[in-house]
Each structure stands twice: as C-alpha cells, then as structure tokens.
C-alpha cells in the first residue's frame, strides 16, 4: 500500500507579504527555515522511504532539510509537483489585484492554470510513483495551491481549510481509493506559535 505524506513548503517572504507566488521561484524566509527544521525533527521518529520535491526552490529547500535531519533519501525534484500557474496574478498582493481587476478578479480569465491541467500533471506523476515505489512511504513537498486540488481529487471532498506552511497530510492507498489519515497537521509548529 502506497502512503504519501503531502507537505506544503515553509513560509517565504512573499507569503509574509501576501504576494501570490505561483510558479515564481522564491526562497524560504527565516521563519520558513525554522518551520522546516521543526517538521524534520517531528518526522525523524517516523519511517519514510524517500522525499520528492517540486522543482521550485522553496519546496526543494524544505525537502532537503527534511532529508538532512531525518536521513530519508532525497529522491529528487519533479516539475509536475510545482505550484499552480497563476498567470497575470503572480507577484501581486490582494490589494494590487483588486486595484487592477476589481473585487471579482477570481472570476476573470487571467491565464491561471485550470484544475484539469494541474490534475493531468498529478495523474502522470502518481502513475509513475505507484509503479516505481509500490508499497513505499513517500514524502512529497509541494505547494498549497497544488496539494488542495490533488487531495480533492483523491478523496472526492474539497479541502475546507487553508493548508498551512509545513503542514503534513498523510494519504494511504486502500482498495477502495484513498484514506486520509492526517490532514493539514502543524503540531510541530506549536513551539513557535
């Protein structure tokens, strides 16, 4: 049975500024590095077979910290795990989006990647992962705008809460589909909250 631990990358300066990152490449902020360290310490007592990251630096930095602290092999990066492309919205704050496109900016066609396109990337990745790592426990470090629709596709239910930075969600493949064992957990961050 394949088990996947979905991890959202640590906080970046753009997260702190409320700036939409999308596929723009930003590094972890100091607080994001600390979050990743705390998550890695939490995962140290678990047994995982490998960690794979989005090719964006904030996810790769988070994954490398987890690998270094836990000894879990860093399998590599995969562009299919990268954040949703947000088109013209990338790099903007909520205030800038409203000033530029109005309150209804989410309803406009601004070049954002559709769920169907994102899930095509995910489906291709999952097929390869399932064939290459059958029965393994694999950590995937990705992005909130990517993980949420993937979880919706696996469970048939939308994720109702915002996925927090360095949150851990554990999904297990079962005969009937997927079972969510843990959702959006940030218990490791309690020392810094």
Q: What residues act catalytically?
A: 9, 83
Integer Cα distance of 187 and 189 in angstroms: 5
Residues 6 or more apart in contact with residue 120 via CB below 8 angstroms: none
Which among 10, 21, 4, 54 has a CA at the least distance from the CA of 186? 10
Provide the strand spans (E) within the chain: 3-8, 50-53, 74-77, 137-142, 168-174, 177-185
Integer Cα distance of 79 and 53 in angstroms: 8
């Amino acid at each position: 049975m394949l088990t996947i631990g979905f991890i959202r990358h640590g906080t970046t300066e753009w997260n702190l500024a409320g700036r939409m990152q999308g596929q723009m490449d930003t590094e972890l902020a100091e607080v994001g590095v600390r979050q990743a360290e705390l998550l890695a310490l939490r995962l140290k007592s678990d047994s995982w077979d490998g960690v794979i990251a989005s090719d964006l630096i904030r996810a790769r930095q988070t994954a490398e910290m987890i690998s270094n602290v836990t000894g879990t092999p860093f399998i590599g990066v995969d562009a299919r795990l990268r954040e949703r492309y947000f088109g013209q919205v990338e790099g903007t704050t909520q205030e800038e989006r409203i000033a530029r496109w109005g309150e209804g900016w989410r309803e406009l066609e601004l070049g954002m990647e559709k769920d169907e396109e994102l899930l095509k990337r995910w489906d291709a990745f999952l097929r390869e992962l399932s064939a290459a790592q059958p029965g393994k426990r694999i950590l995937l470090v990705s992005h909130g705008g990517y993980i949420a629709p993937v979880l919706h596709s696996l469970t048939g239910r939308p994720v109702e809460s915002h996925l927090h930075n360095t949150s851990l969600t554990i999904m297990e493949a079962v005969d009937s589909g997927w079972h969510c064992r843990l959702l959006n957990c940030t218990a490791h961050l309690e020392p810094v909250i």
